[in-house]
Structure 1
Amino acid sequence: MANTPYPQSYYAASANPVPPRPALQEEVQTDVCVIGAGYTGLSSALFLLESGFKVTVLEAAKVGFGASGRNGGQIVNSYSRDIDVIERTVGPKQAQLLGHMAFEGGRIIRERVAKYNIQCDLKDGGVFAALTPKQMGHLESQKRLWERFGHTQLELMDQKRIREVVDCDQYIGGMLDMSGGHIHPLNLALGEAAAVESLGGKIYEQSPAIRIERGANPVVHTPQGKVRAKFIIVAGNAYLGGLVPELAAKSMPCGTQVITTEPLGDELARSLLPQDYCVEDCNYLLDYYRLTGDKRLIFGGGVVYGARDPANIEAIIRPKMLKAFPQLKDVKIDYAWTGNFLLTLSRLPQVGRLGDNIYYSQGCSGHGVTYTHLAGKVLAEALRGQAERFDAFAELPHYPFPGGQLLRVPFSALGAWYYSLRDRLGF
């Protein structure tokens, strides 16, 4: 049987040691079968186990193999489209529910880290950096919007103030969110998986779901086993493949690229980011960066529509890093990798139910670290019969890409080119 290891990355190289997990080689019975051991699946499993459900998790490769173990590691609040866009789309009542949930994911992460003693280099503080007056105006509006929904840990920064937290002369200002922050994302996933197992949950690695037998008592088939369940949660996101065709038609895997420097040493690291906050800029195709626990700089950006792996990731991302920090021109890059996230046409997550007993959440659209933890809680609530918050997400429109799968890549790339051109021209 094929054994899929972690892709080479800084996170895989610095992951906390964990015991090997077996592949499923038998038939098992459970209350809930979760497909995917990333953040959505692990969060769902934890909330369900804490509520008394029997849970089995199937992972095609290894825990956190996908976006959960390869992302930029930034705790960023809200969704890929903010609450004002949701309000215009669905009206004030539904937006009120979704708005108050927009800041819950980060709290869930911190609760999990504290409750289960997860060692993942958790740091508080995230910066949104503005390159233009228009972007600064957007941040001022965003602060008012978020405060309307009770989120008050925010500080607007002028050019002098932002230079105190990031040694980059590109920015004219920004906004600091002290409920934002950053983590070692793979170690967070591994810690959550250990928490699942501590509560009696079962996790099978190298056990891809290859077929779902739908019906009153659904069955998930793997190459060497099967899981009979009362409920199924589909949490594969960009790595789900064609397992559920109706979900694949309304989403598109996209790749983002990340590099990690050699260790910078305390003095240089502290000069770049004196308070150890993470940073993302306000461009449509944004750059994001932060320090690791061992004082490296992780820098990411760029989008490859359709999730192809670029031939030379460092050649794409290193110039972006040097534009922000020319003082790193002689610094060596130790790691470069790509990972996929799942994009929806609306840039809003897709949550729903297929039949009576198959639930799903997908399409974080690049904003998944916090949302996926919230999604797990919302899915668990729905299985317990408390569906108000689940319904608020489920009622968001799920649009298919124009032209189907054949044209979704060129259409999306054209749209991204248009918005990135606007960024460059300052519109």
Structure 2
Amino acid sequence: MAYTPHTTSYYAASANPSPERPPLNGNHETDVCIIGAGYTGISTALFLLEHGFKVTVLEAAKVGFGASGRNGGQIVNSYSRDIDAVERSVGAQQARLIGDMAFEGGRIIRERIAKYNIQCDLKDGGVFAAFNKKQMGHLQAQKALWERYGHTQLELLDAQRIREVVNTDRYVGGMLDMSSGHIHPLNLVLGEAAAVESLGGIIHEQSKVIRIDQGERPVVHTEQGQVKADYVVVAGNAYLGNLVPQLAAKSMPCGTQVVTTEPLDPELASSLLPQDYCVEDCNYLLDYYRLSADKRLIFGGGVVYGARDPANIESLVRPNLEKTFPQLKGVKIDYAWTGNFLLTLSRLPQVGRIGNNIYYSQGCSGHGVTYTHLAGKLLAEALRGQAERFDAFAGLPHYPFPGGRLMRIPFTAMGAWYYNLRDKLGV
């Protein structure tokens, strides 16, 4: 059987020690079988175990192999489409439920870190950076919207103030969210997986699921074994493939690129981001960056539709890195990698049931660090018979991409080109 290691990222190179977990072998039974050991799967497992369920997690590669171990490491509130988009598409009660949950994921992450003593370099504070007055107006509206839902740890930054937190002249202003922040994402999920095992949960790595037999008690098959369960949770997101065709039809894997510099001189690193906040800009195809614990700049951006691996990741990211921080021109890049996230047409998560006993959550659309932790709680609530909050997401409308699977990539890329052009023109 082929062995799939972590990608060659900075996160994998600096990960905390983690045990090799054996592949599934033979026949087993459990209360809940979870497919995927990323944030969604591990968060769900942890909530279920805390309420007395017997849980088995099957992972095709390694814990945190996908987006959970490759992302920018930023704790960003709300969803890829904000609460106002939800308000326009669903009724008031459903929108209120979803809006009230928009800031819960970050709290869950901090609770997990504290409860299980997870060492993942947590830092508080994140900045949305605006290139022009139009984007600044959007941030003003966003602040008012979030405050309407009780989120008050926000500060608008004018041109002078943003230069105090980001040492670049690219931005006209921004918004600081002190309940945002950043973490070492792979170490977070590895710590949560250790917590799962401390509560009796079982995790099998190198155990790709090849088939799910539906029925009164579904059976989940890998090449070397099977698990019979009362419930199945599908949590593979962009790495699920075509295991569940009805989920693949309304989503599209996309790639984002990340680079990590060599360790910077401490004085230089501190001059770039004096308060050690993370930053993302307000463009449709946005850049995001932060400092690592050992004072490297982690800088990501760009989207490759269809999740191809670019031939030269550094060449895609370096121009914007150096445009943002000219003082880093020519800096050595030690690590460069791509990671896939799952895009939905609405850019809102897809949540639901298949039959009575197969549950799923997917399609964070690049906004998954916080949402996936909330999703774990919602899935666990639903399996315990408390489905109101789960059903609020399950009731969101979702549609296939225009042109079907053949044309979804070029059509989506054309749309992204249009919005990217608008960002450049400031209109």
Normalising by structure 1, report the TM-score.
1.00
Cα distance in 1 for residues equivalent to 2:418 and 2:85: 20
Amino acid at match of 1:424: K
Amino acid at match of 2:102: A
Partner of 1:106: 106
Residue 192 in structure 1 maps to residue 175 in structure 2? no
Q: Deviations over 1:37-94 (max 9, x none)?
A: 0000000000000010000000000000000000000000000000000000102211
- How far does residue 330 in structure 1 lie from its aligned partner after superposition? 3.0
Amino acid at match of 1:73: G
Amino acid at match of 2:249: A
1:280-291 correspondence to structure 2 within 5 Å: 280-291=280-291
Cα distance in 2 for residues equivalent to 1:192 and 1:320: 34
Amino acid at match of 2:40: T
Amino acid at match of 1:123: K
Amino acid at match of 2:361: S
1:13-412 correspondence to structure 2 within 5 Å: 13-412=13-412
Amino acid at match of 1:3: Y
Cα distance in 1 for residues equivalent to 2:90 and 2:266: 48
Amino acid at match of 2:220: V
Amino acid at match of 1:20: E
1:216 match: secondary structure: coil
Cα distance in 2 for residues equivalent to 1:91 and 1:8: 45
Amino acid at match of 2:142: Q
- How far does residue 127 in structure 1 lie from its aligned partner after superposition? 0.1
Cα distance in 2 for residues equivalent to 1:153 and 1:92: 25
Cα distance in 2 for residues equivalent to 1:345 and 1:173: 30
Amino acid at match of 2:6: Y
Amino acid at match of 2:222: T
Cα distance in 2 for residues equivalent to 1:76 and 1:285: 16
Amino acid at match of 1:156: L
- How far does residue 120 in structure 1 lie from its aligned partner after superposition? 0.3
Q: Deviations over 1:116-149 (max 9, x none)?
A: 0000000000000000100000000000000000
Aligned residues: 427
- How far does residue 401 in structure 1 lie from its aligned partner after superposition? 1.2
Cα distance in 1 for residues equivalent to 2:331 and 2:315: 14
Cα distance in 2 for residues equivalent to 1:238 and 1:380: 21
2:86 match: secondary structure: helix
Cα distance in 1 for residues equivalent to 2:394 and 2:368: 17
1:29 match: secondary structure: strand
Cα distance in 2 for residues equivalent to 1:293 and 1:134: 34
- How far does residue 398 in structure 1 lie from its aligned partner after superposition? 1.6
Cα distance in 2 for residues equivalent to 1:299 and 1:330: 14
- How far does residue 265 in structure 1 lie from its aligned partner after superposition? 2.1
Cα distance in 2 for residues equivalent to 1:353 and 1:29: 21
2:209 match: secondary structure: coil
Cα distance in 2 for residues equivalent to 1:408 and 1:119: 40
1:210 match: secondary structure: strand
Amino acid at match of 1:105: G
Cα distance in 2 for residues equivalent to 1:137 and 1:326: 27
2:409 match: secondary structure: helix
- How far does residue 400 in structure 1 lie from its aligned partner after superposition? 1.0
Amino acid at match of 2:386: Q
Normalising by structure 2, report the TM-score.
1.00
Any stretches of 5+ residues in structure 1 without a counterpart? none
2:8 match: secondary structure: coil
Amino acid at match of 2:17: P
Any stretches of 5+ residues in structure 2 without a counterpart? none
- How far does residue 261 in structure 1 lie from its aligned partner after superposition? 0.2
Cα distance in 2 for residues equivalent to 1:299 and 1:424: 20
Amino acid at match of 1:88: R
Cα distance in 1 for residues equivalent to 2:5 and 2:107: 31
Amino acid at match of 1:79: Y
- How far does residue 113 in structure 1 lie from its aligned partner after superposition? 0.3
Please say which of residues 356-365 and 84-93 is displaced more in the overlay. 84-93
- How far does residue 402 in structure 1 lie from its aligned partner after superposition? 1.6
Cα distance in 1 for residues equivalent to 2:72 and 2:265: 21
- How far does residue 19 in structure 1 lie from its aligned partner after superposition? 1.2
2:127 match: secondary structure: strand
Q: Deviations over 1:266-308 (max 9, x none)?
A: 1011000000000000000000000000000000000000000
- How far does residue 2 in structure 1 lie from its aligned partner after superposition? 0.6
2:399 match: secondary structure: coil
Cα distance in 2 for residues equivalent to 1:10 and 1:307: 20
Cα distance in 1 for residues equivalent to 2:153 and 2:50: 30
Cα distance in 1 for residues equivalent to 2:275 and 2:251: 37
